[in-house]
Structure 1
Amino acid sequence: MKGIYTFTMLVLLICSGALAQTKTFQNPLLPSGADPFSTYHNGYYYYTNTLQNKLVLWKTKNLANIADAESKTIWTPPEGTMYSKEIWAPEFHIFDGKWYVYFAADDGDNNNHRMYVLENKSEDPFQGNWEFKGKVAANPDRWAIDGNVFKHEGELFMIWSGWEGDTNGQQNIYIAKMENPWTINTNRVLISEPTYVWEKQGDLDDEINPPHVNVNEGPQYLEHDGEIFIVYSANGCWTDYYSLGLLEFTGDDLLDPSAWKKYDEPIFKKSEENSVYAPGHNSFFKSPDGTEDWILYHANSNPGDGCGGKRSPRMQKIEWNEDGTPNLGVPVSEETVLKIPSENK
């Protein structure tokens, strides 16, 4: 009897330990995965990140367990098209009961990068067919990446990073209104361009990529208590200075450039103390019970890791300042043990 009792207690201890482990996590969530994005629907998080040559969707109840989540390749591009190569920063959204995935792609020549969209009418994005709806382009139709689509007062808008002309002078943030999830029906409007040193300083000793990199990219819509923000990535992703900046909507018309206030300091940047470098290209999500706001972002673990496969997805809870602006804090170290997002009771 004593042996049975001891065995039972051991099983209970192991089980309770495993349960406790599921309630905490440490970054990074995966060894590699740039431009992470998630959508919460019917009790599950649907996660994706840049894979360059295909679109993959993960499904999990807890983003901290993304490494063990169910996954599916939902689309592989046909060869020989303008969207066959360099598939970047996919985002899955639900509008009017249908699933849409937005992504940037080209034909192997970065100068031809544009935004594209697929549609799935199924309730479950792992089921049904993903139909290619085409290119999503504003007037003028110029280089475009990192599209983020959101609904405001019943109307759809897209924000993205683009060039002013046909050559890469700098990357700006643009906005336009959409007629439907695959069609922009207004001219693009410039709402942010690199102006501060921290947006364009580069690595000062880098001879390959000059100091003045002039990049605003990865814009993400964020709303809290009726206030609207856009959090964007600044500087070159290949530098350790890649960081997040903030735009605040202060007017009545999202398409009015003067309605956007730009903050003069980054709100999220590298932490040498915590060994987190080049944190950026983020998205936001709420905890399952809706009480917490979280940031999902990629970063490097070492200086000089650059803009390749060493970028790994991470997440942490954010707070809100008294003036209503987001407080993203400092990117936590890989040794920091965090509680998982608050679950439904």
Structure 2
Amino acid sequence: MTRPTSGPPFRRTAHARPAGLTLGVLAALLLALCLAATPAPLARAAVALDQWYVVTSAHSGLVLQIEGESVESHADLVQANRTGAESQQFRFLESADGSYRIQSRLSGQVLDVLDFSQADGAPVIQWPDHDYANQRWVPIERSDGTTSFRNVHSGKMLDLLDGSPAPGAPVGQFGDNGLDAQRWELDPVADTGLANPLRSNGADPWIQYSDGAYYMSTTTWDSTVTMRRATTLAGLATAPDTVVWDDAGAASRCCSHWAPEFHEIDGTWYLLYTSGSSQTNFDGQKLHVLRSTGSTPMGPYEFVGTPLPGQWNIDGTYLEVGDELYLLWSEWVGEDQSVRIARMTNPWTVTGPQATISRPEHSWEIRGGRTNEAPAVLERGGRTFVTFSASSCNTPDYTLGLLELTGSDPLDPSAWTKTPDPVLERGNGVFGPGHNGFFTSPDGTEDWIVYHGNTSATQGCGDTRQTRVQRVTWDDDGTPSFGEPVPSGEVLAPPSGE
């Protein structure tokens, strides 16, 4: 197997041989020392399976982490300040010979000595788990309670190269010398459970589960789109933000990035977001579309288009009915901010007529402003539902309404039936719940809602809005039930299949 290298491995300077000693004399001295005091064999350390650990260097006090929070193969193992992120959590997978592979919680890959090297200073990277000998490690118990890890292929120890105390310093392998740079403390990660909020500054959230991980984006307010990735829903609370797109320098879409959503359409990920030309004047806000050239929602992305370049439009999402793709968005129609729809020829191009399928008409849709926005699609059993956010987000009565496609033509306003009452409104210390998305559990058996909410009736539309999640249930008549907002701190059962 051939793999690219990440440059020549770091090599320590060999210690000089004492002057005046011949090789024969040195050999005799070494033999005498060995006969006088043969060291006891190294004892294997006990590790728990199905337990995630933070691994701390006894030398530096810093923890193991995959460089750059990367999920890509070949990323280096380094040390970093402890943050609690999943990129700093590892577990042990037992091999048939009794050794272990050390798996990253964030990427699912295992620690691997680069290119099967047996050299001192060879770097350790992450690589897909093939149970190769250079991916197997034997935990060794030290007398001070720390643990060392010996690689099965090379016989060398996992080592903080050059004993550096600095964050970002590389970790590789080196011959056993008993130094603190080869000693590690295993700190089990406590399972604190899933509870709201998942994020404090987390307006307009969107979550999808794909290929073993959850991905989440929220409004950034600036020129960027960011994303978090975690293997558990609870893990999104501490996962790092990764910038997946930056419009700095693109004058027409440089600023005020809102409401990113990512959708897999015909095997390709598309990212739909709202932005404009100013951080303070929102008259130029429009939808824009990115297309991933990678295999995950993290991209990398390329810009492909602005679906409605000639009009103000925000909060876009996709609807697929049969073989047709539609764009849903919010736009002013007279004095009403309304939900609109149009057919698309591809995920960035609108074609044909545009129609209004929901406008404010009930008392709960006009508090603080006549507003219908942020449509989100939920499908089950051949039925199509669309939630939307009603009333002004500046009020504690921002709330969710529900439409159902009861006709055959999504472009026909009469084909949509609106539920007369809101389906999620303030309660349990959560104010202004709205701007939601939907995602499924890992095993596909459960539907979940993600939305934002405030903790005070006076907080409004700013960065105080928190990302929150809870399970969707289904009534006997086949309609979704969202219940009340789950109180902050209440522990939730994780999605089925985690």
TM-score for both structures, normalised by structure 2: 0.61
Partner of 2:257: 87
Specify the code of the residue in structure 1 equivalent to 2:437: S
**Do structure 1's residue 188 and structure 2's residue 336 form an aligned pair?**
no
Ranked by relative contact order (alpha carbons within 8 Å, sequence separation 6 or more), the top structure is 1
CA distance in 1, matches of 2:51, 2:383: 47
Q: Choose from 359, 367, 370 the match for 1:201.
A: 367
What displacement does 1:125 show? 4.0
Partner of 1:224: 380
What displacement does 1:261 show? 0.4
1:289-329 deviation per Cα after TM superposition (whole angstroms, max 9, x unaligned): 11111110100111111110110000011111111111000
CA distance in 1, matches of 2:478, 2:188: 38
CA 226–14 in structure 1, closer or farther in 2 if over 3 Å, else same: closer
Partner of 1:3: none
Partner of 1:243: 399
Maintained 8 Å contact 1:35/1:282: yes
Maintained 8 Å contact 1:279/1:298: yes
| SS across alignment from 1:65 | helix
| SS across alignment from 1:338 | coil
Partner of 1:107: 277
Maintained 8 Å contact 1:199/1:216: yes
**Do structure 1's residue 260 and structure 2's residue 260 form an aligned pair?**
no
1:2-55 deviation per Cα after TM superposition (whole angstroms, max 9, x unaligned): xxxxxx9x9x9998x977725x32110112200110122211111100001110
Maintained 8 Å contact 1:142/1:164: no
Partner of 1:21: 191
Q: Choose from 131, 140, 147 the match for 2:302.
A: 131
What pairs with 1:1-345 in structure 2 (closer than 5 Å)? Answer: 21=191, 24-53=193-222, 54-79=224-249, 81-108=251-278, 109-128=281-300, 130-137=301-308, 141-164=310-333, 169-202=335-368, 213-271=369-427, 274-343=428-497
Specify the code of the residue in structure 1 equivalent to 2:218: N
What displacement does 1:58 show? 1.2
What displacement does 1:97 show? 2.1
CA distance in 1, matches of 2:324, 2:403: 20
Maintained 8 Å contact 1:159/1:175: yes
CA distance in 1, matches of 2:469, 2:445: 16
Maintained 8 Å contact 2:331/2:337: yes
| SS across alignment from 2:408 | coil
Maintained 8 Å contact 1:60/1:70: no
Specify the code of the residue in structure 2 equivalent to 1:184: V
Q: Who wins on radius of gyration, i.e. which is larger?
A: 2
CA distance in 1, matches of 2:297, 2:315: 21
Maintained 8 Å contact 1:38/1:46: yes
1:42-96 deviation per Cα after TM superposition (whole angstroms, max 9, x unaligned): 1111110000111001111212211222542011113351211111100011112
Maintained 8 Å contact 2:307/2:349: yes
CA distance in 2, matches of 1:159, 1:193: 13
CA distance in 2, matches of 1:199, 1:171: 10
Specify the code of the residue in structure 1 equivalent to 2:235: N
CA distance in 1, matches of 2:299, 2:437: 25
Maintained 8 Å contact 1:142/1:163: no
Specify the code of the residue in structure 2 equivalent to 1:164: V
Unaligned regions of 5+ residues in structure 2, if any? 1-45, 54-186
| SS across alignment from 1:34 | coil
CA distance in 1, matches of 2:52, 2:370: 53
CA distance in 2, matches of 1:127, 1:232: 28
| SS across alignment from 1:66 | helix
Q: Indicate the RMSD between aligned Cα atoms, in angstroms.
A: 2.4
Maintained 8 Å contact 2:367/2:395: no
Maintained 8 Å contact 1:277/1:303: yes
Specify the code of the residue in structure 2 equivalent to 1:233: S
| SS across alignment from 1:177 | strand
1:163-222 deviation per Cα after TM superposition (whole angstroms, max 9, x unaligned): 125xxx2210001111001101122110000001111122xxxxxxxxxx0000010011
Partner of 1:205: none
| SS across alignment from 2:414 | helix
CA 55–280 in structure 1, closer or farther in 2 if over 3 Å, else same: same
